Amino acid sequence: MLTKEELPECPVATTVSLIGSKWKLLIIRNLLERPWRFNELKKNLEGISQKVLTDSLRSMENDGLIIRTVYPEVPPRVEYSLSELGLTLKPILDSMVEWGNAYKKM
């Protein structure tokens, strides 16, 4: 996690550094629907490796975008959900959906 002083000066660059990867955007898309378990995400995100998913989830957790909840069960159940900060990304993804749909109609 970068400190605020280490983040790029440009706000667009800051946003890209936090959510700019293909997989992070798709993880956020899924988490906007509901909390997901690791294996559910892995199955839904066709082509993502376990390492990339793990690294992306850890990075977004460290950046405060997602919450990892461990339930005290045997075996332990872990769910990932968006934090309050992560939920503020919804308008960005909504705009991407709108733009993508418009592009497909061109």
pLDDT tens-digit map of 20-66: 889 999 999 999 999 999 999 999 999 999 999 999 999 999 999 99
In a domain, 42, yes or no: yes
Q: Per the domain annotation, does 84 fall within a domain?
A: yes
CATH number of the domain bearing residue 27: 1.10.10.10
Banded model confidence at residue 2, pLDDT cuts 50, 70, 90 = low
Tell me the whole-structure pTM to 2 decimals. Answer: 0.89
**29 occurs within a structural domain:** yes
Please report whether residue 4 resides in a domain.
no
Region of 98 (left: φ > 0; alpha: ψ -120 to 50; beta: rest) is alpha
Look at the chain and report how many structural domains it folds into: 1
- pLDDT surpasses 80 at 4: no
- Quick one: CA torsion of 68, 57, 84, 21, rounded to 10 degrees? -170
Residue 32: give the domain boundaries. Answer: 11-105
Assess if residue 47 is contained within a domain: yes
Q: Is 40 within a domain?
A: yes
Residue recorded with tokens 């790029």: 8
